[in-house]
Structure 1
């Protein structure tokens, strides 16, 4: 990640989110706020396979993508 120097990191699923942010939490807890990895904002969201099994959650994942867009554009959360 250091070589890429991302403006925002989006993790897919609880396992990835917990490992990047460095906490043990549910995905619901992780999604409540923007985390941080070496001063880079981290936005956890649902894993694509979960979204395939639970289409009703696609709106929440879309909201997470919009949050990433706002962070990239510099308008915060």
Structure 2
């Protein structure tokens, strides 16, 4: 996967469009997400190319963005 192919978004139509098109997508989810994202998973059977980033506690977007930043840096370093 090239970094330019990656879509990073919250749970919107953009997430579903990227997933439906088979594009790599990282989806940032609140602590209590919509039912379709299930619980305690970083993947989803709906979109095999999606990675889920969940708030560990309500309102904690800082830790979510820190994980995204770390994973994005690792992806960039890998090539």
Report the TM-score range of the alignment, normalised by the length of the smaller protein. Answer: 0.3 to 0.5
TM-score for the superposition, normalised by structure 1: 0.39
TM-score for the superposition, normalised by structure 2: 0.38
